[in-house]
Amino acid sequence: MSSSTEVIAEVRPSRERQWSLWAGQIAAIMRLEVRKNFIGKRAILIYLLAAVPILLMAALSAEISWQQSRNSNIGEVNIIFANLYEGLILRTIVFFGCAWIFMNVFRGEVVDRSLHYYFLSPLRREVLVCGKYLSGLVASMVLFGISTAGSLLFLYIGLGSAGRSYFADGPGKSQAIAYLGITALGCVGYGAAFLVIGLFFRNPIIPALVAYGWESINFLLPPVLKKISVIHYLHSLSPVPVPEGPFAMVAEPTPAYLSIPGLLIVTAVVLALASFQIRRMEIKYGGE
The predicted-structure confidence for 240-264, as pLDDT tens digits, reads as follows 887 776 666 666 778 888 889 988 9
Residue 219's closest CA among 181, 253, 182? 253
Query: Which pLDDT does position 2 carry in this prediction?
Result: 47
- Average pLDDT of the residues in 72-76: 71
* 111-114 contacts at long range (C-beta below 8 A, 24 or more positions apart): 111/288, 113/285, 113/288
Q: Which amino acid is at 165?
A: S
Instruction: Quote the domain boundaries for residue 256.
Output: 2-287
What percentage of the chain reaches a pLDDT higher than 70?
A: 86
Q: How far is CA 214 from CA 204, 259, 276, in A?
A: 15, 19, 25
How much is the mean pLDDT over the chain?
A: 82
Q: Are 137 and 187 in contact (CB under 8 A)?
A: yes
- Average pLDDT of the residues in 194-221: 87
Contacts of 53 by beta carbon, 8 Å cutoff, 6+ apart: 84, 85, 88, 89, 93, 147, 148, 150, 151
Query: Which pLDDT does position 4 carry in this prediction?
Result: 43
How many domains are there within the chain? 1
Residue 6 above 50 pLDDT?
A: no
DSSP 8-state class, residue 229? S
